[in-house]
Amino acid sequence: MLSRTADHLLWMARYIERAENTARMLDVNCQTGMLPISAAQAEQGWEGLLSICELLPAYRRRHDDIRPGHIIQFMAADADNPSSIIACIQASRENARAVRGQLTTEVWETYNQTWIEAQALLQTDILTDDPSRFFEWVKDRSHLARGVMLGTMLMDQSLWFLRLGTFLERADNTARLLDVKFHARDNEFHVSDLVDQEELDFYHWSAILRSVSAFEVYRKVYRDVIRPDRVAELLMLRPDMPRSLLASMDEVLTNLDRIGAKTLSSPSRRLAGRIQSELQYGEIHNILETGLHNYLTRFLERIHELGQVITDEFLY
């Protein structure tokens, strides 16, 4: 496969996954914003979201204050923001168009229709009247895109590069989503805080679990009240949780092997293996003792590095 084709496939999948995860992060902030918290706490949460997504400077250039409506518009509908939902959907569609010959008709039509419908939806007042409905629509279209790919495409390098892009992006965004909870705090989250935080944070953690479709999964796995340490464990270290960091890295390794990075001489295989092994053999109490924010920040840096290494090895 031409490296240019592989690059389009990888980013086609990454952008649609990024659109979905941006919708998930905005949705969890909308839900927690409806809880009885102070205006200062709400502002910290929204500012933390912008910081985690590395969008705070760009937002500040356009707006003087932190307002949920402005942030939702900026992160969902602003075509000049390359990380916005609409910009990601457009970029995903353009990458799909560039490799139209590698895709089935069903896959192409799904991406093209998503772009057309997104533009139409954003011409309405959906972001002001009912933003959660728009975020649910984005998640549904992303689910449909993945299902159509798996159900119609030949299981060859095209599909494997698509899957690689999906899970690279998912690992990055799950870490960001989890870190939003801690980023705006004045002090780091430690094990000693668990007792005091348990009741206070119940609804916040419930919102986070629902935002990654994990509320029922949590109940099935732990059969107990929602505790922050267990939420973190579920979203980081459980290999059977589809959106966890470990499950995402397992898929990254599997698809790297499929595209030819099986040997230890492969830089991307070595780096991905180190990241995966830390998660596989890690224990949540050790992570929390050293600080979850620090751990997730380092994880995000390594995922970014892995993306660059994959680009150097396969896409140039």
| Stretch 292-297: mean pLDDT | 90
pLDDT by residue (tens digit) across 143-190? 999 999 999 999 999 999 999 999 999 999 999 888 876 554 444 444
Q: Are 249 and 276 in contact (CB under 8 A)?
A: yes
pLDDT at 273: 94
% the chain with pLDDT above 90: 68
Cα dihedral 249, 282, 19, 134 in deg (nearest 10):
130
The closest alpha carbon to 75, from 31, 134, 141, belongs to 134
Q: Are 131 and 29 in contact (CB under 8 A)?
A: no
pLDDT at 33: 74
pLDDT at 200: 52
Helix axes 39-52, 3-33, angle to 10 degrees: 180
| Stretch 258-286: mean pLDDT | 90
- Report which of residues 42 and 213 the model is more confident about: 213
Assign 19 to helix, strand or coil: helix
CA distance 100 to 301: 33
pLDDT at 260: 83
